[in-house]
Amino acid sequence: MKKYIIQSIRLTVVLTVLLCVIYPLLVAFVSKFSAGKGNGETITVNGKVVGYANVGQKFDQPQYFWGRPSAVDYNAAGSAGSNKGPTNPDYLKQVSDRVDTLLKYHSYLKKGDIPADMVTASGSGLDPDISPEGAAIQIKRVAQNRGLNAEQVTRLVNQHTEKHIFGPATVNVLKLNVALDQLKK
Amino acid sequence: MNSEILGVVASFLITLLIAIPLGKYLAKMFAGERVWTDFLKPLENGLFKLAGIRPGEPMDWKQFLKAMLTINLLWLVYGFFVLMFQDKLPFNPDGNPGMTPDLAFNTIISFVVNCDLQHYSGESGVTYLTQQIIIMFLMFTSAATGIAAAVGLFKAFRDKTTTNLGNFWEFFIKSITRLLLPLSFIVAIVLAFNGTTASYEGKDQFISLQGDTLNVSRGPAAQMIAIKHLGTNGGGWYGANSAHPLENPSYITNMTEIISQMIIPMAMILAFGYFIRRKKLGWIIFGVMTAGMFMLMIPTISSELGGNPNLTKMGITQATGAMEGKEVRIGPLATGYWSTLTTIVSTGSVNGMHDSTMPLTGAWQLLGMMINGFFGGCGVGILNYFIYLIIAVFISGLMVGRTPEFLGHKVEAREVKIAALITLLSPFLIMAGTAIAAYVFNNHGDADWAVKPANWLNNPGYHGFSEMLYEFTSANANNGSGFEGLGDNNIFWNVATGFVLILGRFLPIIGPLAIAGLLGKKKYIPESAGTLKIDTVTFGLMTLAVILVLNALSYFPALALGPIAEYFSMIK
């Protein structure tokens, strides 16, 4: 028994060095050669970081495309989904309120135009993307608020719709909004 | 939609393409035959030397278990104190606090047993030091413990009569040096180059496009996410687990993660067949497990793609399926696929919130964990399935009126008793736990705990009951996923699930190894015309029937009170 205890202690020490020091440092070193240098890929405007490409941020001003509802209000110091069950009456009320809000700011929409991702909270609360349909319904509002014509904005949305061989098509909200700001100048 | 179907089909095919050769490799490697990774021998020998281990030394089943339990106990004690005092230790760039004793108790057990139930959130509950030297360390070692235990069982049936299960330390270290560590390195690099964070930088702060000041948590996640999946652990670096865009930034990383969590459980099944020189038996078991997997997966995917009927009633378009708790870049199809695999292989990582999935999806997730033998966790999957095999052999023996035999060894009262006890353990722990929780919730709602029982549930009615049932099921299966709406960081859930975790881990390892040890030393009876052949499709179907009947009888009442009742209330 004593033999096993000593072996266990020695093994734990050597494995800690191998698995918790050498292995992670090696990966961290190699990751320095990746696009984001292992820190997460940032997006800069005029030399200033305005966000992380893969981390959603809150957009509620009328001149921007909006992202999905978030259970953590896009506070990326943490992350969480709503964890609301599909039959929870409070949750259904919340969804219906979100639909009303969207209809209020997009008076040209009918309920059936609204895709599910725009009124449901994401799993992380930090979803950087919306569906192409989610972007399409906002084009008119954004164009009006920026004094642009809708075709210009549609073209921009199409440029920012990422189609993939595997997996659904996505529109990265932050990248789209950055491009939108640059269009104005 | 087509690109989503293509993504899931490709994920499954790549999994098979990796798992099949990996199974052959594992059998050879653990048997000590020559393999191409022999160049790692010097590293292994160095580890053996530093730890004072003589690798060839034989162990009988009792010594084997003693070695395994000793090192696991050491990790429990040591990790408990490190987690409690993590705030006083270095590498804590975000200034996170130490854990309360009950949370440290729950967390250390949870990671030692390969479960990874997390009653804390990764961003604020642990430090960079404890994420690595405790959490990630245990992700490697708990997976290696499971694999080593399974190889011990393989060894008992390789020779005709033997008392030698092999050397625990040798299997344990080889699982790390020849399997988990090299694969983790590859997966971590793939993740890091696709956007998962991998450096040691702390939280970042910046001004957003709208002018808000925002914080982003970061850290060396890729290293941990790799072993989290390869070792079927499931604990996330970030609170939202693999739904988090820095943990799982794209569909490609999503495929990488779902493939990595399946390959070792699949490979271990085939390795069993090759190791005991009964290739066909490995493939029959593989077939039964795959059939079971599809039985759970197809209805799951169909219920997620259908969307939430309550939202359809509101007039919302759910073109791709139910989106609550899911990410746009992954989509409901890949999330449904993942949710089945993560619950059958006991990973418990999530790329979408299970609490928000459709009621029947919840039922299939629960059932996957209750059965816990369709591929199952690293190594322990085959141990759980072994118990089902013994029960199936016994029942078949009764049906045809012969003394039951397993691979040439008589199965007698003692072995069947152990198997029966292990079978009864899971329903007992899950039901008793849930019953006590429901009682406390109803009768002691204002108990003065960190979360009052009256505030435990994030959802009312049947779904609230499912949240409690899910937590105990996940703990017993050492799965680690949750209906995360449950307010679980308080003394009741930390302590109750802590005990369920430890019993649900070690008894189902001790039981099968004891049976294997007892059977292995019995006289070998050569196959004759009267032998019940277990490597046939008929016996495979028999096992599947035994699994389904046992679990349906045990769990149907509980499932009826939770997800099934919710389903009928939803479609009425």
CA angle, B76 as apex, B74 and B79 as ends, to 5°?
Answer: 100
In a domain, A46, yes or no: no
Residues A112 and A156 reside in one and the same domain? yes
Summarised one tens digit per residue, pLDDT across range B490-515 is: 999 999 999 999 999 999 999 999 99
Residues A131 and A165 reside in one and the same domain? yes
Residues A141 and A172 reside in one and the same domain? yes
**Please, where are the H alpha helices in chain A?**
2-17, 23-31, 89-105, 132-136, 139-146, 150-159, 173-184
Summarised one tens digit per residue, pLDDT across range B436-466 is: 999 999 999 999 999 999 999 999 999 999 9
pLDDT at A185 over 60: no
Q: Can you give the residue range of the structural domain that contains A31?
A: 1-39
CA angle, B470 as apex, B426 and B302 as ends, to 5°?
Answer: 110
3-state secondary structure of B205: strand
B268/B151 Cα distance (integer angstroms): 9
- Residue A20 one-letter amino acid: C
Residues A94 and A155 reside in one and the same domain? yes
At residue A143, what are phi and psi to the nearest 5 degrees? -60, -45
List B residues 111-140 in contact with A (Cβ-Cβ < 8 A).
121, 123-124, 132-133, 136-137, 140
pTM of the model: 0.95
- Calculate the dihedral angle through the C-alpha atoms of B349, B351, B357, B361, rounding to the nearest 10 degrees: -60
DSSP labels, B337-391: HHHHHHHHTT----SS-GGGS-HHHHHHHHHHHHH--SS-STTHHHHHHHHHHHH
Question: How many angstroms away from the CA of B157 is the closest CA of chain A?
Answer: 26
Instruction: Say if B208 is an interface residue toward chain A (CB within 8 Å).
Output: yes
Summarised one tens digit per residue, pLDDT across range B106-163 is: 999 999 999 999 999 888 999 999 999 999 999 999 999 999 999 999 999 998 899 9
In a domain, A146, yes or no: yes
Domain boundaries, chain B: 2-571
Looking at residue B160, what is its pLDDT?
A: 87
Instruction: Say if B408 is an interface residue toward chain A (CB within 8 Å).
Output: no
Residues A98 and A56 reside in one and the same domain? yes
Structure tokens at B305: 């793609």
Structure tokens at B276: 């005991």
- Residue B314 one-letter amino acid: M
Summarised one tens digit per residue, pLDDT across range B196-248 is: 999 998 899 999 999 999 999 999 999 999 999 999 999 999 999 999 999 99
pLDDT at B551 over 80: yes
- Taking contacts as CB-CB distances below 8 angstroms, the residues of chain A near B307 are 116
B553/B547 Cα distance (integer angstroms): 10
Neighbours of B2 (CB within 10 A): 6
List A residues 92-151 in contact with B (Cβ-Cβ < 8 A).
92, 95-96, 99, 111-117, 119-131, 133-134
- Residue B82 one-letter amino acid: V
A56/B197 Cα distance (integer angstroms): 15
Residues A60 and A17 reside in one and the same domain? no
Can you tell me the mean pLDDT for B470-495? 95
pLDDT at A86 over 90: yes
Pick from A10, A59, A128: CB nearest B51: A10
Nearest to B478 by CA among B509, B502, B459, B461: B502
Question: What CA–CA distances, in Å, run from B341 to A3, A12, B2, B535?
Answer: 40, 31, 21, 25
Question: How many angstroms away from the CA of B273 is the closest CA of chain A?
Answer: 30
Looking at residue A30, what is its pLDDT?
A: 97
- Taking contacts as CB-CB distances below 8 angstroms, the residues of chain B near A53 are 195
Looking at residue B176, what is its pLDDT?
A: 97
Q: Which are the contacts of B77, defined by CB distance < 8 A and separation ≥ 6?
A: none
Residues A137 and A59 reside in one and the same domain? yes
- pLDDT tier, A85 (very low <50, low <70, confident <90, very high otherwise): very high
A94: exposed, middle or buried (Cβ count in 10 Å: 0-12, 13-18, 19+)? middle
Looking at residue B165, what is its pLDDT?
A: 94
Answer yes or no: do B358 and A52 touch at CB < 8 A.
Answer: no
Residues A147 and A113 reside in one and the same domain? yes
Residues A60 and A33 reside in one and the same domain? no
Neighbours of B62 (CB within 10 A): 13
Summarised one tens digit per residue, pLDDT across range A99-122 is: 999 999 999 999 999 999 999 999
Q: How many domains does chain A have?
A: 2
In a domain, A90, yes or no: yes
Q: Find the helix or strand (DSSP H, E) in which B405 lies.
A: strand B405-406
Can you tell me the mean pLDDT for B356-378? 96
Looking at residue A184, what is its pLDDT?
A: 60
- DSSP state for residue B96 in the 8-state scheme: P
Q: Which are the contacts of B501, defined by CB distance < 8 A and separation ≥ 6?
A: B106, B109, B110, B113, B115, B117, B475, B476, B478
Residues A23 and A91 reside in one and the same domain? no
Looking at residue B487, what is its pLDDT?
A: 93
Looking at residue B93, what is its pLDDT?
A: 86
Residues A19 and A90 reside in one and the same domain? no
Pick from B50, B137, B359: CB nearest A86: B359
User: Mean pLDDT of all residues in chain B?
Assistant: 95
Straight-line distance from the first to the last Cα atom of chain B, in angstroms, rounded to the nearest whole number? 29
In a domain, A44, yes or no: no
**Mutation to test the B interface, candidates A13, A27, A97, most B Cβ within 10 Å:** A27
